[in-house]
Amino acid sequence: MNTIQISVGDVVMQAELNQSLTAQAIWDHLPITGSVNTWGDEIYFGIPVNLKEEPDAREEVEVGDLGYWAPGHAFCIFFGRTPASHGKEPRAASPVNVFGKVLGDVSPLRRVKSGSTIRITRLGDSK
């Protein structure tokens, strides 16, 4: 399992990537630095990865899921309700490729402000 570190301001957390093609493509491009945008309880930022929507892409995601939003070439971190949510669950604006999950508590992400610099780096490589 490939593990990444997500750092933005004083918030540092780890996430595990799954075995998808999206996860591998993002892993291959690390490290990545971007500027945070927020949309409800979602952080997203553009990355230099150009992928298509995978067959299992979906709008309904879980707290802690990492998603790739193909229309915006964006890395997304879901940690609660978004403007598209119908209940308490996070919901993407349109289908995302879910490629990993944050390990542990995601609540510190609520302190992250739009415009903050975010950095994604490799922590472990199972290959």
Q: What is the pLDDT of residues 78-88, one digit of tens each?
A: 999 999 999 98
| Model confidence, pTM | 0.95
On the question of pLDDT at 127 being above 50, the answer is no
In sequence order, what DSSP letters do the residues of 49-84 get, joined into one string? ---PPPTT-EEE--TTEEEEEGGGTEEEEE-S--TT
Is residue 34's pLDDT more than 90?
Answer: yes
What was the pLDDT predicted at 10? 95
Those residues with Cβ within 8 angstroms of residue 80's Cβ, 6 or more apart along the chain or in another chain: 40, 41, 42, 63, 88, 90, 106, 110
The reported pLDDT for the residue numbered 124 is 62
| CATH for the stretch 3-124 | 2.40.100.20
Taking the mean position of all CA atoms in its chain, how far away is CA 122? 14
Query: Residue 1: which pLDDT band, with cuts at 50, 70 and 90?
Result: confident
CA dist 17 and 37 (Å) reads 22
Q: With cut-offs at 50, 70 and 90, classify the pLDDT of residue 125.
A: low
